Amino acid sequence: MKNPILADSGPAISGMDASLPLAIVPHDETSRDTMQAAPESCCAPANRLLAALPEADYQRLAPHLQPAFLHAGQVLFSSNAPGHGILFPSDGMVSVVLSSADGSEVETIPIGREGMVGRVAFILGDTPTFRQAMVQASGCGWRLPLEAVKKECEQGGPLCALLRDYLENLLITAGLIAVCKRRHQLEARLSHWLLFLSERMQLDDLPFGQEMIADLIAARASEVTVASGLLWREKLIRFNHNSVTLLDRQGLQRKACECSAILQSEQAQLFSNAAMRHAV
């Protein structure tokens, strides 16, 4: 079920038409670093970074955006297979491993429609970058070839500033995830993560079993089972072997650690900064 509170519309896609050139690459076991093209009808342009661009700048990029379907388990890129563009998810969920400027890995971070993934360090300079990206929940997105990103940056378009701000936001998220793991109780962490995932995916029914949630929040599956049981007894969630449903968001917010509010605030700041930058 779509979360109506978070649903919003992205920019118009009048720049895209049936003749849009698609880089269609078959998805199979031997090419797992590729993004399979998807029909435009399956990809509502609901990515928030694209939506944050001024209309004229979005329309300049629109002819280069290619709809892509994301399969759960698909590796979009890794250290061995760099991939060929930036992906802006419209729905679904991608998890990434972020590496800092000195090459050390930081945290695994779920990314949905509020973000993007791609090997962009050589464009953006001394910033954190993505080491690996894997699709955790199937969905759609828009792929922007790196050539188009390079051209946009050379022309001083607002996309690069937005991507830099987003990468800084990801570093803050990574740091907070690390602190959360060490300092906060599992029931509070689980509540926070369920809200976090729900907001990024715009879903109340999350397609994740408890083992996958345990992986995402770096906890043992047995611990997640116990914490889920506590939340279930308070009628905050319902779960089965391959999904979990948020029944009471306010109740979960009361249970969640402060990381939930901090990340919401940081993300609001990111898009507020973008709006103010475009207003001047």
Interface residues with Zn ion (CB under 5 A) are: 180, 184, 257, 259
Nearer to Zn ion, 76 or 259 (CB): 259
Q: Least separation, in Å, of the C-beta of 246 and Zn ion?
A: 17
Residue 111 or 180: which CB sits closer to Zn ion? Answer: 180
Q: Would you say 148 or 257 has its CB closer to Zn ion?
A: 257
User: Nearer to Zn ion by C-beta: 181 or 249?
Assistant: 181
Report the nearest approach of Zn ion to the CB of residue 217 (Å): 10
- Tell me how far, at minimum, the Cβ of 192 lies from Zn ion, in Å: 5
Q: Minimal distance in Å, beta carbon 189 to Zn ion?
A: 5
Residue 247 CB, shortest distance to Zn ion, in Å, is 21
Taking the least distance from each CB to Zn ion, the nearer of 96 and 257 is 257
Q: In the 3-class helix/strand/coil scheme, how is the chain assigned residue by residue?
A: CECCCCCCCCCCCCCCCCCCCCCCCCCCCCCCCCCEECCHHHCCCCCHHHHCCCHHHHHHHHHHCEEEEECCCCEEECCCCCCCEEEEECCCEEEEEEECCCCCEEEEEEECCCCCECCCHHHHCCCCEEEEEEEEECEEEEEEEHHHHHHHHHCCCHHHHHHHHHHHHHHHHHHHHHHHHHHCCHHHHHHHHHHHHHHHHCECEECCCHHHHHHHCCCCHHHHHHHHHHHHHCCCEEEECCEEEECCHHHHHHHCCCHHHHHHHHHHHHHHHHHHHHHC
Closest distance to Zn ion from the beta carbon of 112 (Å): 19
| Closer residue to Zn ion (CB): 51 or 195 | 195
Q: Quick one: 146 exposed, middle or buried, by C-beta within 10 A (0-12, 13-18, 19+)? A: middle
